[in-house]
Structure 1
Amino acid sequence: MADIVSVDSVVKRYGELVALDHFDLHIAPGEILGLLGPNGSGKTTAINCMLQLLTYDKGSIELFGEPMTPARYDLKRRIGVVPQQVAVMNELTVRENVDCFCSLYVPDRKLRQPLVEAAIDFVGLEDFIGFRPRKLSGGLLRRLNIACGIAHRPELIFFDEPTVAVDPQSRNAILRGIQRLRDEGATVVYTSHYMEEVEQICSRIVIMDHGRVLAQGTADELKRMISVGERIQVEVDRMPDELLARLRALPHAITIEVEDDVLVCVCEASPHNLVDVLRELTDAGVTIGRVWSAPPTLNDVFLEITGRELRDGAEAGR
């Protein structure tokens, strides 16, 4: 099937700053695509160009197989956007908010009513339809934000940090809801600072920085791209400097550090890493407590590919 989103060699400049540098992105129908990047990497600029909220200098963007332009309202009606900042009207009730946003796409009240009811039920707000936003908890407010963005049943939905500052129960409900939207035929673009969420729901992940795609693939494919193969953690009673030096000299060691009486060994892939580390500790007479060994995480992938943690940097220029 043809791609729902086709972005080819898009360049976007703000004066001397190149926000998008020949940016490419292709999304197939039914994907939940995780779009990751440090603050200032160009994620929001890329999304705003796709939505034609920003003009761009070079390249082409097609949505649903058609050229996307500011005047393509027929295509825009097929898109839903759930922004990071909650965007609802405080003077309206839950039902009135969802109805108001849905009316932008579906002017006929009779056609709109079942859509509004379905969206409210979908996010679990049926017991709060008469509440105004200021009476809702943070998690319920996020759910209302989602209902307003999906009530017109869009085929392509952009979620920008939809679970920021919500409780675990609401977070799980939101993630299950996004997967249900995919199961019902929607294609989703998902941005988040929570790596575990991205790994849980995204079928494919794109990591970008400096306006370019640095890597893409499934979570497992991305993990195989990096040098980190294993993270070993061992509770220890002491850690002499000479022992640290021996551990750092092990053939597959990448970093060896001690954090609050826990030895943290980041190693390349090897079947003998744990045995080698424990042998050195035992030979040195160090008392060993609990031991953990885990494969690389998506955060390890992000850090190695971009060279910085996801939360680093200023928010401006996203």
Structure 2
Amino acid sequence: MPPTISVANLSKTYASGFQALKGIDLEIRSGEIFALLGPNGAGKTTLISIICGIVSPSGGSVHVNGHDIITDYRTTRSLIGLVPQELPNNAFESVWDTVAFSRGLFGKPPNPAHIEKVLRDLSLWDKKDNRIMTLSGGMKRRVLIAKALSHEPRILFLDEPTAGVDVELRKDMWRIVRDLRDSGVTIILTTHYIEEAEEMADRIGVINNGELILVEDKSTLMHKLGKKQLILQLHHPLEKIPSALASRGLTLSDDAMELVYTYDTQGERTGITSLLAELNEAGIKFKDLSTTQSSLEQIFVSLVKRPS
């Protein structure tokens, strides 16, 4: 299938001379959850804003379902829903009026049944007559999602959707996003919570200093760049690592009671089996062992710290 969103050689330089995006190439598949990660100022929001038609690009092209975002802007905008970082400021409007008004902005005819379904799906139905100003921060986030879904988009951008939301509500919103994906909506997510991407994303993109440095399936990324550690708890302290094991890259804990072996996630069985045999030959006895694996956060940190 052709990509839902196709970005080619996209660049953005602001009037101040700051180059926010540098030759971005990206394709987003239909029906996936794509997580865009990057530190503050990396270009995440600029990229989203250009695709959504809020910011004009300096160069390159963007197509949404085959439509150019500039020449076919009405069509592309109708296909996209955006949940921005900022909370709503229409404090005196009711939830229902706010969501219904957003639908009208896209030229859609009134559809009370659809608005009701959106509000019920987001657990907002009992708040439909409440003014926005009376809602909690988490409920205001839900209203932002409801507004973005009011015109029935096929693509949904979530820019830091759970910022400032407590853990319980965050997990509830993860469920909402999965349900949307299962209904056929393509989700593009930016987040500071790396566990959010690890929990939900099908693919990961990492942007840094305006450049897209990596795009990969999440499972492939963690397999290729993830590291594992085998931790051996020793029976007795070890003064130093025997020279015969020097090539293994073992490290000794401060109390000399643990040996740590760090290895790639590929070809691990052979390496561990031979290591245990070498430890036995060296007379090093251990009473227990455990393993740990790199999180997506550790991989992300290692990527953005790499010299350009």
- Aligning the two structures, in what range does the TM-score lie when normalised by the shorter sequence? 0.7 to 0.9
**Which amino acid in the other structure matches residue 301 of structure 1?**
I
Distance verdict in 2 for CA 1:80–1:251, change over 3 Å = same
Equivalent residues of 1:103, 1:112 under 8 A apart: no
Q: Using the alignment, how far apart are the partners of 1:169 and 1:21 within structure 2?
A: 38
TM-superposed CA distance for 1:107, in Å, is 4.9
Distance verdict in 2 for CA 1:50–1:268, change over 3 Å = same
1:11 aligns with 2:8: no
Secondary structure of residue in 2 paired with 1:77: helix
Q: Using the alignment, how far apart are the partners of 2:3 and 2:262 within structure 1?
A: 39
2:171 matched residue in structure 1: 172
| CA displacement 1:115-163 (0-9 Å, x = unmatched) | 2111101101112222223332222221122111112111111001111
Q: Using the alignment, how far apart are the partners of 1:264 and 1:124 within structure 2?
A: 48
TM-score by length of 1: 0.80
2:137 matched residue in structure 1: 138
**Which amino acid in the other structure matches residue 165 of structure 2?**
V
Greater gyration radius: 2
Secondary structure of residue in 1 paired with 2:248: coil
**Which amino acid in the other structure matches residue 3 of structure 1?**
P
1:293 matched residue in structure 2: 291
Distance verdict in 2 for CA 1:262–1:166, change over 3 Å = farther
What is the aligned-residue identity percentage?
27
1:112-131 matched pairs, under 5 angstroms: 112-131=111-130
**Which amino acid in the other structure matches residue 97 of structure 1?**
T
| CA displacement 1:53-106 (0-9 Å, x = unmatched) | 222222111111011117712221221000122125110122222122222124
1:1-318 matched pairs, under 5 angstroms: 1-14=1-14, 15-69=16-70, 72-108=73-109, 111-226=110-225, 228-232=226-230, 243=240, 251-253=248-250, 266-269=262-265, 270-271=268-269, 292-307=290-305
Distance verdict in 2 for CA 1:257–1:216, change over 3 Å = farther
Distance verdict in 2 for CA 1:251–1:120, change over 3 Å = same
| CA displacement 1:214-256 (0-9 Å, x = unmatched) | 1111112112332x420456889x999x65999x956245x87
Distance verdict in 2 for CA 1:243–1:78, change over 3 Å = same
* 178-187 vs 268-277, which moves further: 268-277
Equivalent residues of 1:88, 1:97 under 8 A apart: no
TM-score by length of 2: 0.82
Q: Using the alignment, how far apart are the partners of 2:274 and 2:91 within structure 1?
A: 60
Q: Using the alignment, how far apart are the partners of 2:242 and 2:97 within structure 1?
A: 65
Q: Using the alignment, how far apart are the partners of 1:60 and 1:256 within structure 2?
A: 53
Q: Using the alignment, how far apart are the partners of 2:193 and 2:172 within structure 1?
A: 15
Equivalent residues of 1:159, 1:189 under 8 A apart: yes
TM-superposed CA distance for 1:190, in Å, is 0.7
Distance verdict in 2 for CA 1:257–1:96, change over 3 Å = farther
Distance verdict in 2 for CA 1:76–1:273, change over 3 Å = same
Equivalent residues of 1:257, 1:265 under 8 A apart: no
Unaligned runs of 5+ residues in structure 1 are 309-318
Q: Using the alignment, how far apart are the partners of 1:20 and 1:36 within structure 2?
A: 14
Q: How many residues align?
A: 299
Equivalent residues of 1:252, 1:267 under 8 A apart: no
**Which amino acid in the other structure matches residue 4 of structure 2?**
I
| CA displacement 1:263-310 (0-9 Å, x = unmatched) | 977544444569969x69xx8999x89x642222211221222118xx
**Which amino acid in the other structure matches residue 154 of structure 1?**
P
Please, what is the CA RMSD of the aligned residues? 3.4
